[in-house]
Chains A and B, each alone.
Chain A
Amino acid sequence: MVKLIEGIPIMRPYIDLDNQGYWDAVKNHKLVLQYCTKCNRFIHPPRPMCPTCRSQDTMEWKESSGKGILYSYVMFTSPKMAYPAYELPYAVVLVELEEGVRIVTNTHEIEPDEVQIGLPVEVMFEDLPDGQTVYRFKKREA
């Protein structure tokens, strides 16, 4: 699913010094997560320090398996409440990755009635005409 309407750009992520590494990796078709080497813990969304040990120098970017399950979802069906760049209906989903963190994303080639909590999914990337790269999730074998 998620088809973009030609000529309407999607919103760009807000990139700053704290999350630059995350979006730089997406540009290279990699999903990376912040990881604290001291706590052995993944952290998302990216932030300046580990909230558990409060270190700044133990944080690194680690590639995610890109596999997870659909933890929750919403379906946009009405033009009034939706962002105009997407054909309706479109789903926004919350994926729980194998690494134990969740990310907000869209689906790829999943029919609306297949969008269900518990669905096994994996990441894919798409380069958009405006130069932006986004990640979405498609079905995978459990």
Chain B
Amino acid sequence: MFDEYLARRYRTTTRPKKEHYLVKDSAAIVGIGATEFSKDSGRSELQMVCEAVKAAVDDAGLQMEEIDGFVRFEMDYTDEMHICSSLGIPKLTYFAECGWGGGASCSTIVHAAAAIAAGVAECIVCYRGMNEASGRRYGRIPGTPSIMTAPRDHFGSILPFGHCTPPGWVAMFASRYLHEFDATAEDLAWVSVVCREHANRNPNAIFYDRPLTVQECVEARMIIEPLRLYDCCVDTDGAVAIIVASAEKAKKLKQKPAYIVGATQGNATEGELMTSYYRPVISGLPEAWYTGQELWRVTGAIPSDVNVAQFYDAFSPLIPMQLEEYGFCDRGKGMDFCRGGDRIRLGGELPCNTSGSHLSEAYLHGMNLIAEAVRQIRGTSTAQVKNAELSLVTGGLGIPTSAILLRN
């Protein structure tokens, strides 16, 4: 069942013909909007989402009435019905939702771009709003705990063992990854340090004015061994909205379009919600490999064509693991790629996570990473890669995932 993955040979015989991939260059990201990123927004998630959508519509130079589609996260506490009522959006002709937590981030763009290529809608909002830090939730009944996953998600078998939180679920993969490839906490620290360097250039980042050293990383308190404080993303209150429009419409709007060259999703068998421990290897992320292989296939691009990347980083070990799975280095070499930081920081071979990303900017389930990838194409990032032509974003890991490739 894992022959393809283990041999790193993607079987394309059962894939649709490349020329049938209508998404390529049919749509573009035309607007981005966000609230401030904070630890306590003081307002509802619905209010923040409306603010972010309004900002994205203004950014694009659209009229609110032109919005005709919405793609939401299954996990979001808001929905298009209430957003349309609040923002006075008269009608929608397309709405969809994407599953699997942060795995949904680039999936929203897959749906939007496919709907646009199919002629179902022309201007689609993809969004995420969360009071992850303060817990001021839309629709939440006070005094009740928020349940992260359904017991069924793990075939019910892990519940009696106190294995109950996302850092723990990912720590199990990380523990094995560090063991197999002989990596240390110091090696891992470079990932967090580089993300922090980029955040220190970004005034909107939660950790804008807080530098971070390797020493501080390895001495930080343990969250769940082997993950320490700065290996984990920063819980955030905020919202981000991304507007996808047809390429034809994009040309007439205010901003330089970030054209969608490819948008792909991937699932792999023997999966569970962040506890896929039963595969031949657990020091890799098969979903990410499939998503990447399909992305390279439909776009015709290869990893070395990419100028800048935003890798989903709920936890630091996921960056070296993705460098391997998306083909930027060989298996087991992701840690070498990150050590010392030179290859992944601004000016390096592949500048990664240039806004500070989840580890240091904000944790908005991947949507802030998409906004940063768009800024790189527009030339407006605070850690701008010169003449960035191809900009990669990836979705949440340890779950069915997604990725997009943007071009100028």
Contacts and interface: CB of A to CB of B under 8 A. Distances in A.
A51 B151 contact: no
B165 interface: yes
Give the interface residue-count category, chain B.
20 to 34
B221 interface: yes
Interface string B260-275: 0000000001000001
B223 A78 contact: yes
B1 A52 contact: yes
Which applies to chain A's interface (DSSP): helix, strand, loop or mixed?
loop
B176 A82 contact: no
A94 B172 contact: yes
A81 B282 contact: no
Contacts of A13: 151, 156-157, 159-160
A46 B161 CA distance: 17
A14 B168 contact: no
Interface string B202-242: 00000000000000000001111110000000000000000
A65 interface: no
B69 interface: no
A102 to B, nearest CB: 6
A75 B175 CA distance: 10
A73 B175 contact: yes
Which of A82, A92, A117 has the most C-beta atoms of chain B within 10 angstroms of its own C-beta?
A: A92
A91 to B, nearest CB: 9
A38 to B, nearest CB: 16
A117 B1 CA distance: 26
B172 A92 contact: yes
Nearest to A77: B222
Nearest to B151: A14
B20 interface: no
Given A72-B176, A76-B162, A81-B168, A104 B157 contact: yes
Contacts of B176: 71-72, 94, 117
A12 B156 CA distance: 8
Contacts of B159: 11-14
A119 interface: no
Contact of B278 (A10, A45, A82, A86): A45
Given A72-B282, A94-B176, 6 more contacts: A12-B160, A15-B156, A76-B224, A78-B222, A86-B162, A104-B275
23 contacts: A13-B160, A14-B151, A16-B152, A16-B156, A19-B157, A45-B156, A45-B157, A51-B1, A51-B269, A71-B282, A72-B176, A74-B163, A74-B224, A74-B225, A74-B226, A76-B224, A81-B224, A83-B164, A85-B162, A92-B168, A94-B172, A102-B277, A104-B277
Interface of B: 1, 151-152, 154-165, 167-168, 171-173, 175-176, 179, 221-226, 269, 275, 277-278, 282
